Amino acid sequence: MYYVYVYLDTRKMGNFVYNDLKFEYEPFYIGKGKNNRDVIHLEKCKNCKSGTYPFYDKLNKILYEGFQPIIIRLENFTNEEESLIKEKMFISLIGRKTENKGPLMNLTNGGIGGDTFSGHTENRKLEIRQKMSDSNKGKNKGKKCSDAQKEFLRNLYKGTKNPDHSNKMKELYSDPDYRKKVGECTGYGRLKDKSVWDKKIIQYDIDGNTIKIWENYRTLKGYFDSNTIVKICNRGHGISKNFKWKWE
């Protein structure tokens, strides 16, 4: 059994009508599949490098902001050919973002079995690769260090083979400004309080209703700023991404 499915962005409520298709949230991807193809994207996107696939970039952003997309199977089919035809029709009806015709993050017009490149001429393949390359520009560049910060890092790790290096590092760790200095250069600091590593975290909405219990702060990564939430939990109050947080 094959089917065509749609992903809806629950951050964007409205009246989205495309002939006989009507959605309460903005559609951003149309796909064709069988078995659990429609939901497998929720796991695959977590391991996808940012900028590689626009659909996964948007999906990760929705999950990071604490929302869940709505997935709807639009129609079922007994053979793959029918599902491919319908997938292509729905994509054309709603419109792709790369063509400035609609909100869909699909890279192709569909009807090719889910493979981005198969079924295209060599020139078309080059065009698709170029679009994917252009979407990566300006991303994943990291945080730039000033000359002073670079000098600090160079001096920090000089003499690692020197017998006195361990003593030098002990002095640095005893410096209360050490973590702050490293954080300014690398963009993040090391979580010092290991007692919180395996403590469960409760997520509430603004009204104090329980949303979810997270196993530990590490499970928040990829969805929320785990370091900020740890600080809120330690402080006992605070809000991040429109949610309240507390140690269990």
> How far, in Å, are 95, 145, 147, 150, 226 from residue 183 at the CA level?
44, 11, 15, 13, 15
pLDDT bin (cut points 50, 70, 90) of residue 189 is very low
Q: List the structure tokens of 153.
A: 């890092």
Distance CA(215)–CA(18), nearest Å, equals 42
Residue 244 bridge partners (DSSP): 204, 239
> How far, in Å, are 113, 125, 180, 210, 239 from residue 176 at the CA level?
58, 55, 8, 37, 27
Does position 115 have pLDDT exceeding 50, yes or no? no
List the domain boundaries for the chain. Answer: 2-136, 148-186, 194-247
Q: Which of 33, 25, 29, 23 shows the shortest CA–CA distance to 2?
A: 33
Of 113 and 148, the structure prediction assigns the larger pLDDT to 148
Domain 194-247 has CATH 1.10.3470: no
What confidence tens digit (pLDDT) does each residue in 227-248 have? 788 888 887 777 877 788 888 8
- Segment of 8-12, 128-132, 195-199, 213-217 carrying the highest mean pLDDT: 8-12
Distance CA(243)–CA(209), nearest Å, equals 10
- Segment 190-194 shows an average pLDDT of 51
Does position 166 have pLDDT exceeding 80, yes or no? no
At 81, which amino acid appears? E
Helix (H, G, I), strand (E, B) or coil at 122: helix
pTM to 2 decimal places: 0.48
Phi, psi of 143 (to 5 degrees): -90, 130
Neighbours of 56 (CB within 10 A): 20
Total residues belonging to the chain = 248
Neighbours of 128 (CB within 10 A): 15
Does position 28 have pLDDT exceeding 80, yes or no? yes
Does position 186 have pLDDT exceeding 60, yes or no? no
What confidence tens digit (pLDDT) does each residue in 73-85 have? 999 999 888 999 9
Work out the angle at residue 124's Cα, subtended by the Cα atoms of residues 121 and 125, and round it to the nearest 5 degrees.
Answer: 85
Distance CA(155)–CA(207), nearest Å, equals 50
